[in-house]
Amino acid sequence: MGSTRGSASVASILLVLGVLGVVVAGVTVWPLVAASGQTQVAERRAQAVVVEPRPCGARAAGDVVEVQIDGQTRRATFDGCGHTRGQRLDVMVPARASGDLRVTPVKTQQTELEALAWRTHIVLITLAAVAGGGYGILLGRR
């Protein structure tokens, strides 16, 4: 009789752990799935020269820079302020540059989607390790 009861408790523990694992995986992956549907603007790296510096403040629109795009020099608004005239900056330019051009500083950090994917991988690897360890403990008792 004791072995039947033990098997039932092991099965219920495995069921609870399985459901918990699915819930944790779902909660972890859901923001990644939701964020992947957002459209991202394709950008390329370029070098710009500040031609009209602007002071930083509440109404600052950003420095005016000149950037080389497909062999043409174009003026753009830089998403930053307070640089000196003639200063060279590494910038990100939209792949399809048309109309009023706005450039941003080069991104050295991961995008939000990449950071979210990294966290998801860590949580899922941890979950797999815990599940594997639990399964190993169950097999070791037999």
Rounded to the nearest angstrom, the gap between the alpha carbon of residue 16 and the centroid of all alpha carbons in its chain is 32
Statement: the pTM of the whole predicted model exceeds 0.75: no
Q: Which whole-number Å values give the CA distances from 115 to 45, 110, 120, 122, in the listed order?
A: 21, 6, 9, 11
pLDDT tens-digit map of 27-75 = 877 777 776 666 566 778 888 999 988 888 767 678 889 998 888 888 9
Confirm if 47 and 64 have CB atoms less than 8 A apart: no
Structure tokens at 128: 């797999």
Give the strand pairing for 64-69 and 88-94: unpaired
Length of the chain: 142
- Nearest Cα residue to 120 out of 18, 39, 26: 26
pLDDT tens-digit map of 114-135 = 777 888 888 888 888 888 888 7
